[in-house]
A and B are shown apart, each in its own frame.
Chain A
Amino acid sequence: MDVARREVVPERAPAGGAFTTGPGGGAPAAGRPRRTRRGGGAALPLALLALPVAFFGVFFAYPVAAIVARGLRTDAGRWHFGRLADVLAATDTAQVLWFTVWQAAASTALTLALGLPAAYVFARLDFPGRQLLRAVVTVPFVLPTVVVGSAFLALLGRGGLLEEWAGLRLDTSVWAILLAHVFINYSVVVRTVGGLWAQLDPRQEEAARVLGASRLGAWRRVTLPALAPSVGAAALIVFLFTFTSFGVIQVLGGPRYATLEVEIYRQTAALLDLPTAAVLTLVQFAAVGTLLALHARTVSRRRAALSMVDAASVARRPRGRAQWTLLCGVLTVTALLVLVPLAVLTARSFDGPDGWGLANYRALGEVSGSATFTVPPLDAVGNSLAYAAIATLIALAAGGLAAAALTVRTSGGAAGALVRGFDSLLMLPLGTSAVTVGFGFLIALDEPPLDLRSSWMIVPVAQALVGVPFVIRTMLPVLRAVDVRLREAAAVLGASPLRAWREVDLPLVRRALLVAAGFAFAVSLGEFGATVFIARPDAPTLPVAVARFLGRAGEVNYGQAMAMSTLLMLVCAATLLVLERLRPHSQGEF
Chain B
Amino acid sequence: MLRLDGVTAEYEAGRRALDGVDLDVADHETVCVLGPSGSGKSTLLRVVAGLHTPRTGRVVLSGHDQDGVPPHRREVGLMFQDHQLFPQRDVGGNVAFGLRMRGTGRREARTRVAGLLALVGLPGAERRPVAALSGGEQQRVALARALAPRPRLLMLDEPLGQLDRGLRERLVVELSALFRELRTTVLAVTHDQGEAFVLADRVVVMNEGRIAQTGTPLEVWQRPASEFVARFLGFDNVVAATVQGAVADTPWGKLPVEDGTPPGACRLLVRPAGVRLTAPEDGLRCRVEARTFRGGDAASVTLLLRPADGPRLEASCSLREAPANGAEVGAAFDGRDVIRLGAG
Binding site for B on A (CB under 8 A): 23-25, 38-40, 411, 483, 485-486, 488-497, 499-500, 503-504, 507-508
Contacts and interface: CB of A to CB of B under 8 A. Distances in A.
A21 to B, nearest CB: 12
A222 to B, nearest CB: 28
Nearest to A495: B101
A503 B76 CA distance: 19
A133 B147 CA distance: 50
B13 A39 contact: yes
Contacts of A488: 49, 51, 71, 78, 80, 84
Contacts of A504: 86
Contact of B12 (A23, A39, A490, A492): A39
B87 A23 contact: yes
Contacts of A489: 78, 80, 84, 86
11 contacts: A39-B12, A411-B12, A486-B84, A488-B71, A488-B84, A489-B86, A492-B51, A492-B78, A493-B77, A493-B149, A495-B97
B38 interface: no
Contact of B98 (A38, A411, A494, A500): A494
A39 B17 CA distance: 14
Given A39-B13, A491-B71, A494-B72, A499 B87 contact: no
Contacts of A497: 70, 72
A486 B101 contact: no
B102 interface: yes
B70 to A, nearest CB: 7
B84 to A, nearest CB: 4
A284 to B, nearest CB: 42
A493 B131 contact: no
Contacts of A492: 49, 51, 71-72, 74, 76-78, 146
Given A24-B131, A489-B78, A493-B149, A508 B13 contact: no
A485 B76 CA distance: 16
A449 B49 CA distance: 48
B293 interface: no
A40 B12 contact: yes
Most B CB within 10 A of own CB, among A39, A493, A499, A507? A493
Rank and list the top 6 A-B pairs by shortest CB-CB distance, nearest first. Answer: A494-B101, A493-B98, A39-B12, A491-B71, A489-B84, A492-B78
Contacts of A40: 12
Contacts of B101: 490, 493-495, 499
B133 to A, nearest CB: 12
A497 B73 CA distance: 11
Contact of A38 (B11, B74, B84, B145): B11
Contact of A493 (B12, B87, B97): B97
A504 B131 CA distance: 16
Nearest to A510: B88
B312 to A, nearest CB: 35
A486 B71 CA distance: 13
A491 B84 contact: no
B142 to A, nearest CB: 9
A494 B145 CA distance: 12
Contacts of A499: 72, 101
A507 B88 contact: yes
A163 B50 CA distance: 74
A263 B86 CA distance: 55
B48 to A, nearest CB: 10
Contacts of A503: 86, 97
B77 A490 contact: no
A483 B51 CA distance: 14
Nearest to A491: B71
B12 to A, nearest CB: 4
Interface in B130-170: 131, 145-146, 149
Contact of B84 (A23, A485, A507): A485
Interface centre among B49, B50, B80, B131 (most CB of A within 10 A): B80
A508 B87 contact: yes
B17 to A, nearest CB: 10
B12 A38 contact: yes
Interface in B52-80: 70-78, 80
